[in-house]
Amino acid sequence: MLTKIREKTQGTFAWGILVLICVPFALMGLNNYTDNMQEDSVVSVGEKEFSQNDVNQAYTQFKQQYAKMQVPEAILKRQAIEKLISDELLLQHVTAEKLTITDEAARKFIASLQYFQKEGAFDKKQYESLLGAQGMNSAQFVSRVRKALLMEQFQKAIVESSFVSEKEIQQFFKIQNQTRSLAYTTVKVKAVTEKPAAEKIAAYYSEHEQDYQTPEKVSIEYLELSLSQLMQDIQPSDEKVQAYYDENTPLYSKKERRKISHILFAKTKEVSLEQALAKATAARLRLDKEAFSGIAEELSDDSLTAKTGGDLGLFEVGVMEADFEAAASKLKLGEISQPVKSAFGYHLITVTELVPGVTKSFASVKEEAKKAVQRVEAETVFYELSESLAELSFENSDTLQIVAETLDMSIQQTELFERHTGKGIAQEEKIRTLAFSESVLQGNNSEPAELGDDRFVVLRVLEHQPAETEPLEKVQARIIVAIQADQAKAQTLLVAEDIKKGLLAGKTLDTLAKAQGLSVQKVENLKRDSKDLSWELNQAVFKAAKPTSETPSLFISASANGEQTVVNLYSVQEGSIQGDPEKEKLAKMNITNALGKADYSAVVDGLRTQIPVSIKQ
């Protein structure tokens, strides 16, 4: 599990630090009331100090990456702090080394962030609005971007500079393509029906009380800010909707579709501009009687388009020279231009397809425009209220009543639900995670939860029912079944161990298995990815020690249902690359990447020895 967490935290810094930390928290408005509070340092890296609020924010967004993994909270907290430290160590190092990022790189990255885009393109107003909403100017934000990109650049320089030798590749395939031969017998579980004594039942209950507990439950009260609800409350006037339509007419318009073809008479070393014009003029006379595509194929110096009758595809303004575009824009469908001069020579141009542009009438899109106005106005209110909701719920952490009255919102409630399931809003995993978090169970309002892009929730516990041990009388039947299952598994293991002892004493597996009424199976040249055995048994076979002439490789492998398999591993054959260049390429890439990440981790560990780090309990 810890390995999975470490793997997930080694993404690119530009997205990991900037997008996952800076932007979401900035847009939620948390910085507005945390930056001004004086708190004691709980983590320090060099001269940089982090407060408990800093650590909480880092943890909150860190755990969002593992929402679908059942990772214990204590492990996530520890890993979040370690990531906070390693990121700061790297930031201080790249700053001290005076590494730089170009303005162009920073601009391109910012333009790629979806937060600042509308309809897939960077929107300056959106950019300035979102930065202004959190009290940050462009220079401050660009500074964060530069730092994040610097850290990513440094990480890539280490990870991508790693390499692996041919000898290491060969050694990898010796192990990866290794085959093993074995004989085995499986001892099935025989059911135990004898009822255990009362004393044994009581003792089992005492030892396993944690297995017989009612699930912990909570009910919550919460405030939900919904963009769709805000939209319903906004009723713009017809004049405002009309004004929006007038300002955004391109949204309700289809551009003219104009497809063109051309014949080029190129100016070359051998052909002067005047000669090219003469050729074009002569060809223009022929076009009164002959097909444009035929003349293009015969005469055009543009060999690429000549094969398709001079087809240039859809006409786009800004691609060709001004005179060419002016001529192409004025032509009617099927009309042929007079010779048009360009830097390449002279062209004859025609329009092969023309679909006029159309703008939908205001009446036909009035409802659509009205919803757009509602959304625009609602988004402004949404962001303002989300900030107020976050601030007020933090400042009044022991109640939602003041927040609800101040913002004119209604407090909603849920029925009791468990950590892993719930109804209504408790179906949301984020809500359940917050409801069972340590801070909320202590009676505090939760931090704000974003449910998609259009819902914002703050909650607190209404009722908490801790897990309780059920009385023995209620769970006795389940305990009897558990004891009998344990006894059956224990008896199965005893039989397997007796067979293994017999093998070590020199008896054959066939003889020992027959005495127990069991059969023996053999597998020759088993591969790691073979489906001949169960996954558990296959893993056990390839983890087992190699046999020697003096020492056989004998072991017992247990399955999930309690069956015990006694294995005699008698042969191991080394693998080879087997002449598969694709597998070799993939293995080289994966090993190189793994070594690169190891090198990067070593660099961060080295920085930790140079820069003092302190974590308060």
Do the bridges between strand 564-573 and strand 311-314 make them parallel or antiparallel, or are there none, so unpaired? Answer: unpaired
CB 66 within 8 A of CB 78: no
Q: Answer yes or no: is pLDDT of 5 > 70.
A: no
Which region among 42-46, 60-64, 331-335, 502-506 has the lowest average model confidence (pLDDT)? 60-64
Q: Measured between alpha carbons, how far is 346 from 463 in angstroms, rounded to an integer? A: 83
pLDDT for res 319: 65
Domain of residue 110 covers 2-162+599-615
522-538 tens-digit pLDDT: 999 999 989 999 999 99
Mean pLDDT, residues 297-310: 92
Q: At what angle do helices 73-96 and 581-610 cross, to 10 degrees?
A: 80
- What SS3 state is found at 437? coil
Residue whose C-alpha is closest to residue 6's, from 537, 601, 459: 601
Which region among 45-49, 139-143, 552-556, 560-564 has the lowest average model confidence (pLDDT)? 139-143
Q: What is the CA radius of gyration of the chain?
A: 36
556-605 tens-digit pLDDT: 999 989 999 999 999 999 988 776 778 778 888 888 888 888 888 898 88
- What SS3 state is found at 598? helix
The answer to whether residue 262 is domain-embedded is yes
Q: How does 183-213 read in b/e, with b if 16+ C-beta sit within 10 Å?
A: bbbbbebeebeeebeeeebeebbeeeeeebe
Asked if residue 345 and residue 392 are part of one domain, the reply reads no
Mean pLDDT, residues 231-249: 89
Q: Measured between alpha carbons, how far is 84 from 89 in angstroms, rounded to an integer? A: 9
Please provide the distance, in angstroms rounded to a whole number, between the alpha carbons at the two ends of the chain. 24
- Find all residues with CB under 8 Å of 602, minimum gap 6, and list them: none
Q: Answer yes or no: is pLDDT of 145 > 50.
A: yes
Asked if residue 142 and residue 97 are part of one domain, the reply reads yes
pLDDT for res 163: 83
DSSP 248: T
Asked if residue 300 and residue 230 are part of one domain, the reply reads no
- Give the model's confidence band at 541: pLDDT under 50 very low, under 70 low, under 90 confident, else very high: very high
| Distinct helix (H) and strand (E) counts, the chain | 25, 20
Domain boundary among 299, 321, 356: 356
Q: Answer yes or no: is pLDDT of 515 > 90.
A: yes
The answer to whether residue 127 is domain-embedded is yes
Mean pLDDT, residues 175-192: 94
Q: Measured between alpha carbons, how far is 416 from 480 in angstroms, rounded to an integer? A: 31
In this structure, what token pair is assigned to residue 215?
């699930």
The answer to whether residue 173 is domain-embedded is no
Q: How does 457-474 read in b/e, with b if 16+ C-beta sit within 10 Å?
A: bbbbbbebeeeeeeeeee
- CA geometry: angle 30, 115, 15, nearest 5 deg: 80
In this structure, what token pair is assigned to residue 171?
């050694």
- Find all residues with CB under 8 Å of 87, minimum gap 6, and list them: 13, 17, 151
Q: Judging by beta carbons within 10 Å of its beta carbon (0-12, 13-18, 19+), is residue 350 exposed, middle or buried?
A: buried
187-210 tens-digit pLDDT: 999 999 999 999 999 999 999 998
Chain centroid, CA 109 distance in Å? 18
The answer to whether residue 381 is domain-embedded is yes
Length of the chain in terms of residues written: 617
Domain boundary among 433, 465, 497: 465
Residue whose tokens read 């929006």: 244
pLDDT for res 35: 41
pLDDT for res 26: 33
Asked if residue 100 and residue 7 are part of one domain, the reply reads yes
CB 492 within 8 A of CB 189: yes
Asked if residue 297 and residue 186 are part of one domain, the reply reads no
Q: Which amino acid is residue 211, in one-letter code? A: D
The answer to whether residue 245 is domain-embedded is no
Chain centroid, CA 62 distance in Å? 12
Asked if residue 261 and residue 403 are part of one domain, the reply reads no
Asked if residue 452 and residue 436 are part of one domain, the reply reads yes
Residue whose tokens read 């004898």: 194
The answer to whether residue 608 is domain-embedded is yes
Asked if residue 151 and residue 28 are part of one domain, the reply reads yes
Q: Judging by beta carbons within 10 Å of its beta carbon (0-12, 13-18, 19+), is residue 319 exposed, middle or buried?
A: exposed
Per-residue 3-state assignment (H helix, E strand, C coil) for 35-97: CCCCCCEEEEECCEEEEHHHHHHHHHHHHHHHCCCCCCHHHHHHHHHHHHHHHHHHHHHHHHC
Which is higher by pLDDT, 233 or 444? 444
Strand-pairing partners, residue 30, are none
Residue whose tokens read 């339509």: 245
Number of domains the chain is built from: 4
Provide the greatest CA pair distance for the chain.
Answer: 114
Per-residue 3-state assignment (H helix, E strand, C coil) for 536-592: HHHHHHHHCCCCCCCCCEEEEEECCCCCEEEEEEEEEECCCCCCCHHHHHHHHHHHH
The domain that contains 330 carries what CATH number?
A: 3.10.50.40
pLDDT for res 504: 93
- Give the model's confidence band at 39: pLDDT under 50 very low, under 70 low, under 90 confident, else very high: low
Asked if residue 195 and residue 134 are part of one domain, the reply reads no
CB 193 within 8 A of CB 484: yes
Q: Answer yes or no: is pLDDT of 67 > 70.
A: no
- What SS3 state is found at 314? strand
Mean pLDDT, residues 406-425: 94
Asked if residue 567 and residue 483 are part of one domain, the reply reads yes
Asked if residue 221 and residue 204 are part of one domain, the reply reads no
The domain that contains 28 carries what CATH number?
A: 1.10.4030.10
Q: Measured between alpha carbons, how far is 290 from 282 in angstroms, rounded to an integer? A: 12
Domain boundary among 465, 500, 533: 465
Asked if residue 154 and residue 13 are part of one domain, the reply reads yes
CA 408 → CA 23, 267, 366, 385, distances in Å? 28, 75, 31, 11
